[in-house]
Structure 1
Amino acid sequence: MQFQRETEALGQVAGRLSWDQETMMPRGSADQRSDERAAMETVLHQRRTDPRIAQWLSHIDESELDEAGRAQLRLIRRDYDRSAKIPADLAAAIARTVSRGHVIWAEARANDDFAAFAPVLAEILDLRRQEAQALAGGGDLYDALLDSYEPGAKGADLDAMFGALRPRLVALREAVLDKPQLPGLTQSFDEDGQMALTHVLAKTFGYDMTRGRVDKAVHPFSSGSGDDVRITTRTVPLDPFNCLYSTIHEVGHATYEQNVNAAYRLTPVGHGASMGVHESQSRIYENQLGRSRAFTGWLYGQMRDTFGDFGIADEDAFYGAVNRVKNGYIRTEADELQYNLHVLLRFDLERALVSGDLAPADLESAWNDRFAADFGFAVDKASNGVLQDVHWSAGLFGYFPTYTLGNVYAGCLYQALRKAVPDLDAQLGQGDTSQALAWLRSNLQCHGGLRSPRDLIADAAGMSPSEEPLLDYLEDKFSSLYDL
């Protein structure tokens, strides 16, 4: 296991290079950083495909292992089998190109210039399709990429689940948007106050700041595991909720990693089970807990303490401001009700890209057409449309559907959590998340990658994953909020 622990440690170092690129790296360092990341990926690929791994695996008697040992063996074998199928030069080329592509994307986004990004997007897509072909062995290319983020998931199954989500989401959205819009915030909120409150919220939701830190980035994210788990957020003067709820969201990711059983650290089970399970934690923190009527009542007091009178009369009006449904372009800023519709758009488009049905050069027009059809108004600029997300510049094809899958998982978990903690609202009204977080920690987070994603959710929630609890939760919440 020492060999595996060293590989895991090097993977964490590689992740720190990415974190630095997003937060502190000088702009002029991009070319050198792409070479550094490629070099690190080459080393990691060599270790992950070391022929000794196959020999070691062949000498293990699985019947002598406990549950954790069997899980370690399963994940080591899976990683070895997948890595061995990918040529080393392809792995290095992907690392080098996505590092360069990220810089080009950031500049293109700042200039609202998709044409400047399209050529490198085509390069990244071609490399990822080569990877998918190596992994799929003649099977579905998108499934091969999806499996990297949600092991065992299939695009066709997600398509069916999302198809069941869409009609009720669209019907509820139409009913809500027919109602008068709830009042929102109207004044500017200073950056220092927002960042001070993010630290309060991070600690409120259990983030151990002795093993983490909060920085700013263009696109909020969480990075690392075990004793070094870092998060980022961003500030917007006229929209402090962007900062505050991005922070709560990323804390959900970060505390999951911090709360994995310490005995699993720097092993294959020492991480979250999948991106969908990871997203279930960030979304239940952000939405079912953080945007609840009870918790927003407490947060209203914190906002007044930080910013003084900011034009919202009382806790009920603040709850409405936090949860109001309105038209918007940006996925990360979307309300709970419409968020998944943003994800479904991306899921369909990236499947078309990977299959070859959509050319990268045509992506912007396809995005704009689909957005107008789904949301009823036109995209005004590329940074509000096809360039808003970092994922495709990073080559993360297959990642987007895990956001909605995470929401589905969160709906199942929240239903079980409310049964387990019957006075949850009273606790949240005092800013006390301890029992909710303890339930999530003991029923899900501590297990890391011990079980498959579906089994982990089923064990914690007491039911197989289903979209019904999420839809019921959304309909109950927004029907009450908008008096439907």
Structure 2
Amino acid sequence: MTTAYETLMAYVRDTEALGQVAGRLGWDQETVMPDGALDQRAEEHGAMAGVLHARRTSPVIAEGLAAVQTTDPVALAQLHHIRRSHDRATKVPASLAGAIARETSRAHRIWAQARAEEDVAAFLPALSRVLDLKREEAQAIAGGADPYDAMLDDFEPGATGAQLTAMFGAMRPRLVALRDRVRQAPPAPQLQGTFPEDGQMALTRELAAAFGYDLNRGRIDKAVHPFSSGSGLDVRITTRTSADDPFNCFYSTIHEVGHACYEQNIDRAYLLTPLGAGVSMGVHESQSRIYENQLGRSRAFTGWLYGRMRDTFGDVGIASEDDFHACVNRIGDGFIRTEADEVQYNLHVLLRFDLERALVSSDLAVADLEGAWNERFVRDFGFSVDRPSHGVLQDVHWSEGLFGYFPTYSLGNVYAGCLHAALRDAVPDLDADLARGDTSRATGWLRDSVQRHGGLHAPRDVIAQAAGGAPTEGPLLDYLEQKFGAIYGV
């Protein structure tokens, strides 16, 4: 006889499968969809959002939750996620869920065109519509509480804006002080020459495989903004190429592989269930950042990459492995968050975190966003934004309604710092592996300690169990000061 739990999980699996289909629509839109299909795709997104909302608010969920009785820890974790999703969804009218899906689909393509044409004014009306809808959604979920916390909770359950403000406030002084010391040192060398796209894509596939990405269950495509999509048996990533900056391609790929491997390595028993995806964006980002930075930009791994670069492209204008390591980790002035060095990356995130909180609270008007961005950028980085695609139009997130997402990037860095310290204790001779381009022990430790659990544990608990203590910003800041102090002699 089928139990109440089995009946509920069968219903939820169908909903999760439909969610994957909706995600595939987004992947297609970013990679191969023709431009003229935008309006139809927006309607398709809206229709799918309506179907998913109806299933997530269905009486079947409420009745199943009331009927199930269990003490099994996995079942209890599944029920926790089902109840949380149901509670949030039932607070949002179906018409609003569909409107958000349609408007963000349109706004995304408007953003892409505005970015290409350096036309902020063309994007702001779409951003205003998206922001109004997301505010309405957050207010419905939050009740009388802070709407921004409701937005943040969608990406990092349990976190609050006040907690992150305190953490980021503790990070800023040490980051700025380290950046200022490095600026007084001689600059690191830079690559010379041009790097053909076919060579970049060949090496990027080698890097993806080296970090454990299973291309039998995934693929690598090109997009304006690199991303990872899907979970379980179909996890896809995108990257981008630049003729004079192959690191953009290589490290975007390694970053997205970190996301993708998290999804691919979740316990197969959780496939198409609430536990079958990464537990939060902060934990997700911890995987992408530790793959990209603590492993991919380490002295040992860059020594191996230096050889593969020379094999692929010939002379790259760098005389030694040490110089190449400094080149990969070069700190310099730049506008783009995704291309920022490890020291300044979090300053980019903190800028966005403060601006979006002001937008959500209506302390900052959308019409004033570009001016506020440019003014803040000068204060934080010491030079002016030269064009909108290097400023307020550079990120895709707000066009997609992802308010509350940005702070998880820095939280992920904090988590990665804690995990890296624990990894080095667990595998003290790791550099010998990385010098051969072998990441298997590092990625295996991350798989077993973090990735396989999926949504089984709360986000902070996942990190605390793996790292041996509650996550704090200290290990990340210590790592940055040690690494860049050695590279720059400061």
Same fold (TM over 0.5): yes
3-state secondary structure, aligned to 1:78: helix
2:319 to 309, 313, 321: 313
1:302 to 292, 299, 308: 308
Question: Deviation per CA, 1:427-479, whole angstroms, max 9, x where unpaired?
Answer: 10011111111100011100000000001100010010100000000000000
1:231 corresponds to which residue?
237
3-state secondary structure, aligned to 2:181: helix
Q: Does 1:329 align with 2:341?
A: no
CA distance in 2, matches of 1:99, 1:253: 23
CA distance in 2, matches of 1:147, 1:203: 33
1:475 corresponds to which residue?
481
2:297 corresponds to which residue?
291
Question: Deviation per CA, 1:257-285, whole angstroms, max 9, x where unpaired?
Answer: 00000000000000001000000000000
1:258 to 264, 268, 274: 264
1:105 to 100, 103, 111: 111
Q: Report how far residue 195 of structure 1 moved.
A: 0.3
1:21 to 25, 29, 33: 29
Q: Does 1:41 align with 2:41?
A: no
CA distance in 2, matches of 1:68, 1:10: 23
- Equivalent residue runs for 1:69-88 within 5 Å: 69-88=75-94
1:279 corresponds to which residue?
285
1:193 corresponds to which residue?
199
Q: Report how far residue 115 of structure 1 moved.
A: 0.5
Given residue 23 of structure 1, which amino acid in structure 2 is its aligned partner?
T
3-state secondary structure, aligned to 1:471: helix
Q: Report how far residue 186 of structure 1 moved.
A: 2.1
Q: Report how far residue 176 of structure 1 moved.
A: 0.2
3-state secondary structure, aligned to 2:238: strand
- Equivalent residue runs for 1:391-410 within 5 Å: 391-410=397-416
2:121 corresponds to which residue?
115
2:4 corresponds to which residue?
none
2:6 corresponds to which residue?
none
CA distance in 2, matches of 1:171, 1:163: 13
CA distance in 1, matches of 2:83, 2:282: 21
Given residue 334 of structure 1, which amino acid in structure 2 is its aligned partner?
A
CA distance in 2, matches of 1:67, 1:185: 52
1:7 corresponds to which residue?
15
3-state secondary structure, aligned to 1:300: helix
CA distance in 1, matches of 2:180, 2:96: 46
Q: Does 1:338 align with 2:344?
A: yes
Q: Report how far residue 313 of structure 1 moved.
A: 1.0
Given residue 461 of structure 1, which amino acid in structure 2 is its aligned partner?
A
Query: Structure 1: which 4+ aligned runs deviate by more than 3 Å?
Result: none
1:135 to 132, 141, 144: 141
CA distance in 1, matches of 2:61, 2:317: 62
Question: Deviation per CA, 1:124-163, whole angstroms, max 9, x where unpaired?
Answer: 0000000000000110010000000000100000000000
CA distance in 2, matches of 1:392, 1:211: 30
Q: Does 1:429 align with 2:435?
A: yes
1:150 to 131, 145, 156: 156
Given residue 93 of structure 2, which amino acid in structure 1 is its aligned partner?
P
2:377 to 371, 376, 393: 371
2:60 corresponds to which residue?
52
1:446 to 452, 462, 467: 452
Q: Report how far residue 66 of structure 1 moved.
A: 1.7
CA distance in 2, matches of 1:182, 1:418: 27
Say which is worse superposed, 305-314 or 131-140, in terms of deviation: 305-314
User: How many residues were matched structurally?
Assistant: 482
3-state secondary structure, aligned to 1:186: coil
3-state secondary structure, aligned to 1:147: helix
2:249 to 226, 243, 258: 243
Question: Deviation per CA, 1:81-139, whole angstroms, max 9, x where unpaired?
Answer: 00000000000000000000001000000011111000010000000000000000110
CA distance in 2, matches of 1:249, 1:56: 39
Q: Report how far residue 65 of structure 1 moved.
A: 3.1
Given residue 137 of structure 1, which amino acid in structure 2 is its aligned partner?
G
Q: Report how far residue 405 of structure 1 moved.
A: 0.1
Question: Deviation per CA, 1:357-383, whole angstroms, max 9, x where unpaired?
Answer: 001111000000000000000000000
Structure 1 length-normalised TM: 0.99
Q: Report how far residue 80 of structure 1 moved.
A: 0.2
- Equivalent residue runs for 1:411-426 within 5 Å: 411-426=417-432
- Equivalent residue runs for 1:179-190 within 5 Å: 179-190=185-196
3-state secondary structure, aligned to 1:223: strand
CA distance in 2, matches of 1:211, 1:394: 26
CA distance in 2, matches of 1:68, 1:195: 41
Structure 1 gap ranges (5+):
none
Question: Deviation per CA, 1:367-413, whole angstroms, max 9, x where unpaired?
Answer: 00000000000000000000000000000000000000000000000
1:208 corresponds to which residue?
214
CA distance in 1, matches of 2:184, 2:92: 52
CA distance in 1, matches of 2:429, 2:246: 29
CA distance in 2, matches of 1:26, 1:53: 38
CA distance in 1, matches of 2:458, 2:71: 18
Give identity over the alignment, percent.
70
Given residue 145 of structure 1, which amino acid in structure 2 is its aligned partner?
M
Structure 2 length-normalised TM: 0.98
Q: Report how far residue 189 of structure 1 moved.
A: 0.5
Q: Report how far residue 180 of structure 1 moved.
A: 1.2
Given residue 445 of structure 2, which amino acid in structure 1 is its aligned partner?
W
Q: Report how far residue 309 of structure 1 moved.
A: 1.2
CA distance in 2, matches of 1:227, 1:55: 30
CA distance in 2, matches of 1:273, 1:461: 16
Given residue 46 of structure 2, which amino acid in structure 1 is its aligned partner?
A
